[in-house]
Structure 1
């Protein structure tokens, strides 16, 4: 058997093995990536590449190493869910770097974040004046959380005692010119109803529609393919 064919076969095996192990590990690797998760992910990916191209390495033993790292990561994730001490050890804790509007330089030094980076992170969150901030903390994954001072927070309808309507998730009815029959049935609507709504803007063929989306207030957003116009059609009127 040629080396090329061996590499192809091993690559297929490592590809699907990596897919399986990543699925077993769940979404935590992407959704809440910590530095430790990053290192584990890089190591597992390196092992998978070893399986693929290092034809002199034993396939079974390398697969065993890959499986071991994956199982350990899963076990540690499960233990972290049920044990606060393990979770703190693995993921770390959020660190407050601004409290009551005061920058805590000692905490910045502990997590090795320079002042310039703190100010840069604040700017990316739309805060250009440090006096607008009440609390700032760096989360275990490196993200920044900000609580602005009460005087700088936006006014909400609740603050003004204004009653608002429920605003749920919109439903896609047409995607790339394809009518989604299941979506229509879930809303107890018919194709004829949708065609009637489209005809209000002289749209005769659903294949001309890039996206049609109905929100919970009864407004139908329609975006036509190409550089054509988009419309918002009230369906309750």
Structure 2
């Protein structure tokens, strides 16, 4: 066999073996690497290159070395799952870099992290003032996570005492012109509903590159032909009209009741809805 053909065959063989061994290691190996996973990735890549290019008679030893490294990596991961001490020794412990708005200089030196690097990591988290940080922790994979002080955290419905319904994941129901039945089932929808929505837009599935349905049941489509504009449905104007009717009803309730407290409440709700309608008008009316 010519040497160049042998190199091609070994390269393909090494890629296939490396692919399956990496799948065996799992997703962590291709995400944020721990200390040992970093070493494993470098070593396994080097051995795979040896198997691919070395043309002597001992190339099969490289495959054996690959299997040993993968087995060792799996064994260490199993040990880490069973022992906290093993995890701390192999992957190190998380380090607190900021506490109560104060930078811990000793921990910064321990992690060999400069102030500029810390500030850069904080900016990635949209934090520009160290005093706004309750905790900043360097994780075992080197990532820095930040917890803002309570007064600087974004306001959520929970802070307001408002319960919100869980939001479903947006599902792709058409991809490359093909209807996806499984996402439709997950949303509790049918092909008939989807075809009806497409008919409103004068479209067929073959014209659609990607179609998605969000948690509110609204369909958005992206066509193969980018120059063609998707017709807008009339659902949003209908929603605007319904909200307008609600605002009128609230105003009517305010005028018709004799209870001063209820009158004030209805009036305030009507004013708030009027403000909301002004903001929504450019988006829901044609």
TM over 0.5: yes
CA distance in 1, matches of 2:231, 2:133: 40
Q: What CA deviation, in whole Å up to 9, does each residue of 1:13-57 have, x standing for no partner?
A: 211211121122112212341232112101101100100011126
CA distance in 1, matches of 2:73, 2:215: 41
Alignment match, 2:65? 65
Alignment match, 2:17? 17
Contact 2:137 2:144 in 1 (8 A): yes
Contact 1:221 1:230 in 2 (8 A): no
Alignment match, 1:207? 206
SS in 2 for 1:13: helix
Alignment match, 1:117? 117
Contact 1:51 1:57 in 2 (8 A): no
Alignment match, 2:96? 96
**Cα gap change, 1:207 to 1:123, in 2 (>3 Å):** same
SS in 2 for 1:198: helix
Higher relative contact order (CA 8 A, sep 6+): 1
Alignment match, 1:108? 108
CA distance in 2, matches of 1:232, 1:184: 22
Q: What CA deviation, in whole Å up to 9, does each residue of 1:136-164 have, x standing for no partner?
A: 01111111110101110011001111221
Alignment length, in residue pairs?
A: 236
Are positions 1:5 and 2:5 aligned together? yes
* Most deviating of 121-130 and 209-218: 209-218
Q: What CA deviation, in whole Å up to 9, does each residue of 1:73-96 have, x standing for no partner?
A: 110011001011111111111100
CA distance in 2, matches of 1:205, 1:155: 43
CA distance in 2, matches of 1:230, 1:86: 57
Alignment match, 1:43? 43
**Cα gap change, 1:130 to 1:188, in 2 (>3 Å):** closer
Structure 2 runs not aligned, ≥5 long: 240-286
Are positions 1:162 and 2:159 aligned together? no
Q: Give me the CA root mean square deviation.
A: 2.2
Contact 1:213 1:220 in 2 (8 A): yes
Deviation of 1:231 (Å): 7.6
Deviation of 1:173 (Å): 0.8
CA distance in 2, matches of 1:232, 1:96: 52
CA distance in 2, matches of 1:137, 1:186: 38
**Cα gap change, 1:131 to 1:185, in 2 (>3 Å):** closer
Report the structure number with the largest CA radius of gyration: 2
CA distance in 2, matches of 1:212, 1:24: 34
Deviation of 1:59 (Å): 2.0
CA distance in 2, matches of 1:185, 1:131: 49
* Most deviating of 88-97 and 20-29: 20-29
**Greater fraction strand:** 1
Alignment match, 2:86? 86
CA distance in 1, matches of 2:163, 2:229: 33
Deviation of 1:227 (Å): 4.3
Contact 1:169 1:216 in 2 (8 A): yes
After TM superposition, the runs of 4+ consecutive aligned structure 1 residues lying more than 2 A away are 181-192, 221-225, 227-235
* Most deviating of 174-183 and 157-166: 174-183
Contact 2:209 2:223 in 1 (8 A): yes
